[in-house]
Structure 1
Amino acid sequence: MALSTAFTKLFGVRHPIALAPMGGSAGGALAAAVSHGGGLGLLGGGYGERGWLARELPVVAASGRPWGVGFLSWAVEIDAVEQALEYGPRAVMLSFGDPSPFVERIRAAGVALIVQVTDLEETRKAVDLGADVIVAQGTESGGHGARRGRATLPFVPVAVDLAAPVPVLAAGGIADGRGVAAALALGAAGALLGTRFQATAESLVDPATAEAIVRGRGQDTERSGVLDIARGSGWAATNYTARTLGHSYLDRWRGREAELAADLEARRAYQDDVARGEVPPLPVWAGEGIDLVDDLPSAAGLVAALAAQAEDALTRAGRE
C-alpha cells in the first residue's frame, strides 16, 4: 500500500516523511539524502549564518529532488531567507517565534510555507498566516521546544482538527516507522523526524555525538533551560527549553536556573570546561524516541525503511 497523503501530493515526494531542519546536523548532504530516499529533506538553516548557507545550499539544491530549508523565526534575518530562496527550495520552514515578517517574501517566491507550532495558539496563528503545512511538535522532541507544551499523542489530533484542511506533520518522539504510522492514524499527513536522522552517515554531528545517540535511552533525556543559560545562548531569552541527554551542568544547576543566570563566574566556568574538553562544545540534543535508534545508516535507506515499517504497521493494525 502506498502512503499517499496531502503532504506527499503537495511536494511530489514518495513518502510522508520529512527531515527536521536541525541546525548543526541537517546539512546539505543529509537533506539531499532524505530527498533522494523519497522524503522531504529540510536543510537546517538555523540562525541564517551566511557562510554556512553558501556552503550547504548548493549541495542540497543539486539533488534534483524536492527539498526545503528551515530557519529560527526569532533569530534569522530576511537576507538569509532570501539567500536560500535563490536556490529554489520547494518549502521554507519557520520555527520558534513570529514567522509573519518572512511570509510575504516566501509567498512572492512561490514557495510553500511550513510553520512549526507547539501549542494551539501558535496553530491558530499559523492557519491565519496561510501556512501550507503545519508541524505540530510535542514535548518528546529533541532539541528546542515549548517550555510548557503538549505531548505529541494528544496534541497532534487537536492540531489536525484546528488546522483542517491544512496538512499537519507530527513531530516529537517519532523515531521509527511505527511512529510514522501512529502519526497517520492521528490524522497527520506525515511525520517530521529529527533525532533518528542525527544518527545517520550524512549527519553533520560529531561522531561522538552520533554514538551517544545510539547508546542513549529516552529516560536519560531531559528538557531544561540550564544548558542554554550556561552557554550564554540566545535561546535563554526565549520561551523555549531544550531536550538533551544528561549533562554534568544539568545535575549541578537543575532547578537553579535564575541563580545560574545571575552567576557570571559559573558561566565562565562552563566555557573553561568546554575549552579543556571536560564538557562537549554542544549538548547532545535528543528526543524521547532515542531508544529506537541503534545504528548509523544512510539517510536515504533509512527513509525507505521507515516507510516500509509504517506500511507494515498500518497493514497489521487493519487486520487485528
Structure 2
Amino acid sequence: MLFQWCGGLAWTRREYGLALQAAETGRIGCGFITWKLDEDASALDWLLDLAPAQRPRAVLLSFGDPGPYAARIRRSGAALICQVQRLEPLPQAVQAGAQVIVAQGAEAGGHGMNALDGRATMTLVPEFADWLAAHAPETLLLAAGGIGDGRGLAAALMLGADGALLGSRLWATAESLAAQGAKELALQTDGDGTARSPVFDILRRKDWPAPYDFRAIRNALHRHWEAQIDALRAAPDAARAVYEAGVQAGDYGAAHATVGEVVGLVHDLPGAAGLITRIDRQARALLR
C-alpha cells in the first residue's frame, strides 16, 4: 500500500493509522514530495520514529533532491524509492542510495515534469536502463506514465524496466477514493483529452516549483485559462471562485479530474486486484 503525502503531520498520522488498520500484512509504503520535505520534514520524522514493526517498508521520494533524507530512510530499514523525470538527476538518486528508480514520463497524470523539460516514457525507460546497467546494475527500475494494461507492462519490460508503477489506471478502480463523477468522466475521455499545465495548481493555491506542472482532463475552465497563465497568476480570484464552486457541486467542467494520457485505455472501473491480475495475464501472454 503506497500513498503520496500532500498534507502535514496531523494528516499523515491519521492516514497512516488508517492504513495500518486496513493492512493485513503491515507492508505499507509511504510517498513524499521531496521539495515539501525541505519546508517541513516532521511527517517523515514521525514515521521513521515509529516502532520497527509499524514503520513503512518503503519510502518514495519525488520532485527534489533525496540526499538530505536518504540516509535516515535507509537506517530505518525502509527501501528507498526515487522517482525521476530526466536523466540528469538519475545519478543523484542512485548516489543517495535508491534501491528502486521510477522513470516517470510526462504522459503521467498529476504532477510531473513540464512540457518544456519532460520526457516520454518510451525513450526515458531504455535510457535509464542503459545507465543503470553500466553504473548501478543492482538498482531496480520501474516505468511510470502511460501504462494502463498488459501491453504497456510488456512494453516497459521489453524497454528494460523491471516492472511498472501504475497511477491513473488504479485511480480508475472501484476502491479508489477519487470522486465517482471524476471516474465516470474518465470513462468518456480519450487520450487526447488531457493537458499538462500549471492551471489547476494556480486554482488550488499549490505553489509548485517551475520545473513541474499538473496533468488532468482538459475541461472548459482549463481551456479558458491555458493560454493566459500570466493573467491567471496575476488575478486568480474570479477563476478560483468558479473552480471551487465546481468542486463543491461535482461539476467537472470546472473541477479537475487527475488522470494521465492513459485515460484513453480506461474503459471500466474494476476492482484493483482483478485489474492487476488482468494486466499480469495479458503481459505474460504477450511476452511468451
Deviation at 1:65, TM superposition (A): 5.6
Q: Tell me, yes or no, if structure 1 residue 132 matches structure 2 residue 104.
A: no
Q: Distance in 1 between matches of 2:249 and 2:260?
A: 24
Q: Which residue, 222, 240, 257 being the options, matches 1:284?
A: 257
Per the alignment, residue 181 of structure 1 pairs with: 154
Judge which range, 267-276 or 297-306, deviates more.
267-276
Aligned to 1:120, the other structure's residue is in SS state: coil
Deviation at 1:271, TM superposition (A): 5.1
Output one character per residue of 1:59-102: Cα deviation in whole Å (capped at 9) or x when no partner.
Answer: 43332063311111111332211333322222100011222221
Q: Distance in 2 between matches of 1:170 and 1:283?
A: 25
Q: Distance in 1 between matches of 2:100 and 2:3?
A: 16
Closer, same or farther: CA 273–60 of 1 in aligned 2, 3 Å: closer
Closer, same or farther: CA 247–53 of 1 in aligned 2, 3 Å: same
Runs of 4+ in structure 1 displaced over 6 angstroms? none
Q: Percent identity?
A: 44
Does the 8 Å contact 1:222/1:243 carry over to 2?
Answer: yes
Relative contact order (C-alpha < 8 Å, sep 6+): which is higher? Answer: 1
The 5-angstrom pairing of residues 145-164 of structure 1 reads 145-147=112-114, 148-164=117-133
TM-score between the two structures when normalised by the length of structure 2: 0.87
Q: Tell me, yes or no, if structure 1 residue 260 matches structure 2 residue 220.
A: no
Q: Tell me, yes or no, if structure 1 residue 117 matches structure 2 residue 76.
A: no
Deviation at 1:121, TM superposition (A): 1.1
Closer, same or farther: CA 182–272 of 1 in aligned 2, 3 Å: closer
Corresponding residue pairs, total: 273
CA RMSD of aligned residues (A): 2.0
Q: Distance in 2 between matches of 1:202 and 1:277?
A: 22
Closer, same or farther: CA 275–152 of 1 in aligned 2, 3 Å: closer
The 5-angstrom pairing of residues 228-239 of structure 1 reads 228-235=201-208, 237-239=209-211
Q: Any gaps of 5 or more consecutive residues in structure 1?
A: 1-30, 32-41, 316-320
Per the alignment, residue 74 of structure 1 pairs with: 35
Does the 8 Å contact 1:160/1:167 carry over to 2?
Answer: no
The letter of the residue matching 2:120 is A
Does the 8 Å contact 2:71/2:96 carry over to 1?
Answer: no
Aligned to 2:161, the other structure's residue is in SS state: coil
Per the alignment, residue 57 of structure 1 pairs with: 16
Per the alignment, residue 240 of structure 1 pairs with: 212
Closer, same or farther: CA 294–181 of 1 in aligned 2, 3 Å: same
The letter of the residue matching 1:57 is Y
Does the 8 Å contact 2:65/2:92 carry over to 1?
Answer: no
Aligned to 1:303, the other structure's residue is in SS state: helix
Per the alignment, residue 84 of structure 1 pairs with: 47
Output one character per residue of 1:145-176: Cα deviation in whole Å (capped at 9) or x when no partner.
Answer: 10121100011000111123111100000001
TM-score between the two structures when normalised by the length of structure 1: 0.79
